[in-house]
Every structure is written in structure tokens, then in C-alpha cells.
A = this chain, B = another copy of it.
Amino acid sequence: MTEAATTAPRYPQPDLNSLPEDIKAKILEVQEKAGFIPNVFLGLARRPAEWRAFFAYHDALMLPETAGRESGLTKGDREMIVTTTSAANHCLYCVVAHGAILRIYEKKPLVADQVAVNHRKADISPRQKAMLDFAMKVCQHSDEIEDADFEALHAHGFTDEDAWDIAAITAFFGLSNRMASFSGMQPNEEFYLMGRLPKGK
């Protein structure tokens, strides 16, 4: 029995130039900024309508200022939720890609590996620990969320709007995790090292 490489994506990636202009433009913009095209952008682009909805949702949650709204979560908090819950879902793409961004935003080269393995042992604040406890419950037992879970957030100063942010980010990346895992999406090599070295090196 021969087997296909386990690391090839299951679905062919479209050529950048074959994509609708708006999608192509956004991808080029990302490439300009990041220096490479994260695989999720091409991996989902074969279905333009889904692509547009996916990134609109992503931006509404992860870039709240683009939605004209402020969030009680920092950029680092948001990426920490993504990394932690994606590890619980065993999604390679999201752990590696968002772990990289988490390291950069938090300026902590170790934190992504820590929350991915066991957020209880990570070098994070008690407030972040409570945030991740709530996220993990939404990720794994959303039907059991109850008043006490909200109260545990409130005890650390989180509002109900913050709770919505935590839950929605968790829910959205639960979608992303399933799409990436099912379709064999691999993280770009660039992500693995990002944020691990002091600047200037």
C-alpha cells in the first residue's frame, strides 16, 4: 500500500492570478506586510464566497477596531485564546500560525509553546488563566456554560462584552480548526520561527 504524503493539502490551491480581484488584492496586501502568503489565504480561496465570509468574520473578531468597536481583550489575549483552543482541537495550522503572532504581540518567545501544551502551567497572568478556562469550556463543553463561568470572568474584571469576545473567537477558530485539519492545511515554514528571537537578530 502506497500512501500519499501526509503533509500535502487534500485540495489543489488556486493560482493567485485566477482569483477574483478583491481576494487577490487582499492577499497581495497580506504578502506585502508579512513577506509571504499564509497558507490559509490560498487554501480557502477556491471558494470565494466562503473566503470572503471567513475573513470578514476573522477581522470582525480579531481586529475589532475595523468593526468600529473597542475590545477589553488585548491583541495578545486574542491570539492566546486562538493558540490554546486550537491546540485542544489538535489543529496544526492554527497552533503554529497563531502561536507565532501570539509570541510577537505578547513579546514573550515562550508563551505559545506553553499554552499549546498546558495553559495551566504557562507564564501568564491569573486574568489570562481565567480567560483561557472560559475559552476551553466554550471549546469543549459549550452546552454546560452556566452563570458560574461568567462570574469567574467577572472576578477578574472581564465584562459580558469581553465574554462574548472570548466565546466568539473560540467558536470562530473552532470552525477554522476543522477546516484546516480536514483539508490537510499545513502552516508555512516561516511561522515556526517567528517571534522566537530577539529583534535585530
Write out the residue numbers on chain B whose beta carbons fall within 8 Å of the beta carbon of A177: 142
Residue of B nearest to A110 (CB): B192
In contact, A164 and B143 (Cβ under 8 angstroms)? no
A157 close to chain B: CB less than 8 A: no
Taking the closest CB of chain B, its distance from the CB of A63, in whole angstroms, is 10
Task: For A47, give its contact among B139, B164, B183 (CB under 8 Å).
Answer: B164
A109, B67: Cα distance in complex, Å: 38
In contact, B142 and A117 (Cβ under 8 angstroms)? no
Write out the residue numbers on chain B whose beta carbons fall within 8 Å of the beta carbon of A61: 50
In contact, B181 and A145 (Cβ under 8 angstroms)? yes
A36 close to chain B: CB less than 8 A: no
Stoichiometry, as copies per complex, reads 6
A34 close to chain B: CB less than 8 A: no
A177, B121: Cα distance in complex, Å: 13
In contact, A143 and B181 (Cβ under 8 angstroms)? yes
Write out the residue numbers on chain B whose beta carbons fall within 8 Å of the beta carbon of A66: 49
In contact, A178 and B138 (Cβ under 8 angstroms)? yes
A149, B103: Cα distance in complex, Å: 31
A118 close to chain B: CB less than 8 A: yes
Task: For A7, give its contact among B123, B143, B163, B183 (CB under 8 Å).
Answer: B123
Q: List residues 25-40 of chain A with CB under 8 A from any CB of chain B.
A: none
Binding site for B on A (CB under 8 A): 3-7, 10-11, 47-50, 52-54, 56-57, 59-61, 66-69, 87, 89-92, 95-96, 109-110, 113-114, 116-118, 120-124, 126, 129, 138-139, 142-147, 150, 160, 163-164, 167-168, 170-172, 174-179, 181-184, 186, 189, 192-193, 196-197
Other than the given A6-B120, A53-B56, A118-B143, 5 more pairs (CB < 8 A) read A7-B121, A49-B59, A53-B60, A120-B144, A172-B175
